[in-house]
Structure 1
Amino acid sequence: MGKVIVSGASGQFGMAAARMLLEQIPAEDLIVFSRSPDKLAEFAEAGASVRAGDFDDPTSLVGAMQGGEKLLLISTVRVGSRVEQHTAAVEAAKAAGVKHVVYTSLLGVRTPGNPSVEGFDHIATEKMIEASGLAFTHLRDSLYAEAVATAMAIPALAAGHKPENSGAGRVPIVSRDDCVATAVGVLTQDGHANTAVDVTGPEMWTLPDAMALVSEMAGKPIVVEPVDDEGMFRYFDSLGVARKASDVVPDGPIPWASEGMVTFGQSIREGFMDVESNDVERITGRKPRTLRSVMEQYRGAWPQ
């Protein structure tokens, strides 16, 4: 097996993947890069190759990936402009001699008619990687359990209520741990080239039922208020969230736009994330974590 590259290795997903890779491959077979390479000292100390690479500086990327065979391309957070970043990375990977790109995408994203704005960048990126001539694996990750246990649960518990536009739509909420383990499995095993993997948790949830579990575990009420998409937009407006990604203030207090959240809820409601899969267990050899287990891990951060 050739060397494995982890992009954005100073982020949560990248760092977790790099640490897990060190448990499975020799350190000299791991290349990690970030625009903040000073945050990657632990990998240099372990014997991995640490490099500087910035998605907004394409000239830095070829050198960052030189000598690698498989690239873990972790999607960036800039909705609306990240396809350019991803394209720069794939072009650099090709120039550096990389053979296989493993990309973190989104569950249900290629189902025709999916309204999720978050998904549009993923669709464009998947198609661009497929057209590059490189081998690919798309890791289509479901909604993170960690996001439900923190970003959703904490404000809902604090307010005692939560507006919700996802209705009775079901989503197989998955732990980020299982997404990372699946990515590492694909990077270290043969047989995953030119495939898409549905990275899902072990249970189907509606978001109102997930909030009911939070309420039960916290011993505090959460009233879920069903709203339509416009009602969901108004809720985010009241929090000062920009509607469109193009209106997000760079480095501002809220780095995301409500159109992504509202259309994500719409895609759940309309069944685009109602996907059952055993890919996590097939690739990692272990059962994926339950939502309750992730909530147990984070409940110490919940308001008392």
Structure 2
Amino acid sequence: MIVVTGATGHLGRLVVEGLLEKLPADQVVAAVRTPEKAADLAERGVDVRHADYTEPESLVTAFKDADKVLLVSSSEVGQRVAQHQAVIEAAKQAGVRHLVYTSAPQATTSALVLAPEHKATEDLIQASGLIATILRNNWYHENYADTIKQAVETGSFAGSAGEGRVASATRADYAAAAVAVLTGTGHEGKIYELAGDVAWSNAELAAEIGQATGREIGYVDLPAVEHAKVLAQAGLPEPVAGFLVALDANIKDGLLAETTDDLRTLIGRPATPIGVTVAEIAR
């Protein structure tokens, strides 16, 4: 039996759908904070169980009889380590044979603003003694949906990443990799650096948006301080603006630029190009 945490989230739901293409529904457990949101999965025969990262007892119950658990990393920045620790301890208590975790690129060595919580989680997994596989997902194409929409509306977008590149892929690509690990063999103990096949710059993203819309789209590169001001003027809270500026600094430093063969090898096809996602969003 395979348990997917966060199964009604963007990535978790795609993993569940992928598992249902390969396994009978009664072998798939959707562990969710709000079971009502997974009613459609329950109707298809999926075992929907309540599981809240902040309620350890719910996790132990959700993992009962589980052979494998996919820990989809929490979206609550600043609270992830404690929440992930609860999942790891529950998996150990429930006798889970194989834990799979969605981490960040080069999590244990990178200066990426997102890395510390993922490094701490990977350390906890290693210390737990659980057999595990780490999926270090690079950035998602979909993270740029708002940027693409804004560029379509205004003809440009701004940032502070300079000529830095991002080796992103779609959520569906990363979900397919998770499905491959959960349903395949020989992945125990492995760390996969998952990334798109091509790393692109903001100037190239602007060109892709221009190609999709048939008009000139510009990228305006700003100093970090000016970028923060623009984000604040757009109404973003200071912590969010600060995070985005720090992330652009990371991108400028090349921390999301590394491409590898791991993703396309696991999914058995090329990763989805950024232009495909741009075209879907810009339509």
2:107 paired with 1:124: no
Structure 2 CA distance for aligned equivalents of residues 282 and 126 of structure 1: 23
Task: Give the gaps of 5 or more residues in structure 2.
Answer: none
Counterpart for residue 289 of structure 1: 272
Distance 1:8 1:118, change over 3 A: same
Sort the Cα spacing of 1:75 and 1:277 in 2 relative to 1 into closer, same or farther, 3 A.
same
State how many pairs are aligned. 283
What does residue range 90-109 of structure 1 map to in structure 2 within 5 Å? 90-109=88-107
Task: Report the AA paired with residue 135 of structure 1.
Answer: I
Amino acid at match of 2:19: L
State the SS of the aligned residue for 1:232: helix
Distance 2:246 2:156 in 1: 20
1:198 maps to 2:193:
yes
Is 2:154 aligned against 1:159?
A: yes
Instruction: Describe the shift of the 1:120–1:239 C-alpha distance in structure 2 as closer, same or farther (beyond 3 A).
Output: farther
Aligned to 1:214: 209
Instruction: Report the CA distance between 1:43 and its aligned residue.
Output: 2.6
2:141 maps to which of 141, 145, 154: 145
After TM superposition, the runs of 4+ consecutive aligned structure 1 residues lying more than 6 A away are: none
Q: Does the 8 Å CA contact 1:199/1:279 hold for their aligned counterparts?
A: yes
1:46-195 paired onto structure 2 within 5 Å: 46-112=44-110, 114=111, 116-148=112-144, 150-195=145-190
Question: 1:111, 1:272 within 8 Å by CA — same for their partners in 2?
Answer: no
Which residue identity does 2:247 align to in structure 1?
A: F
Q: Are the aligned partners of 1:8 and 1:35 in contact in 2 as well (CA < 8 Å)?
A: yes
SS at match of 1:117: coil
Task: Note the alpha carbon deviations across 1:161-217, whole angstroms, 9 max, x for none.
Answer: 322111111221211111000010011111111222122112120122112211232
Report the CA distance between 1:24 and its aligned residue: 0.8
TM-score normalized with structure 1 length? 0.88
Secondary structure of the 1:9 match is: coil
Root-mean-square deviation (CA), in Å?
A: 1.6
Distance across 1 between alignment mates of 2:127 and 2:98: 13
Q: Are residues 71 and 187 of structure 1, via their aligned partners in 2, closer, same or farther at CA, if it must alter by over 3 Å? A: same
Matched residues in 1 for 2:246 and 2:186: separation? 34
Residue 31 (structure 1) aligns with: 29
1:138: how far off?
A: 1.6
Question: Please, which runs of 5 or more residues in structure 1 have no aligned partner?
Answer: 245-256
Residues of 2 paired with 1:273 and 1:264: CA distance?
10
Give the % identical residues: 33
2:221 equivalent among 209, 212, 226: 226
| Deviation by residue 1:271-303 (Cα, 9 ceiling, x = unmatched) | 112212111221111221111122222223xxx
CA distance in 1, matches of 2:128, 2:226: 41
Deviation at 1:26?
A: 2.2
Task: Report the alpha carbon displacement of residue 222 of structure 1 after superposing the two structures with TM.
Answer: 2.8
How far residue 258 of structure 1 moved from its aligned partner, in angstroms, is 2.2
Amino acid of the residue matched to residue 211 of structure 1? Answer: A
TM-score, normalised by the number of residues in structure 2: 0.94
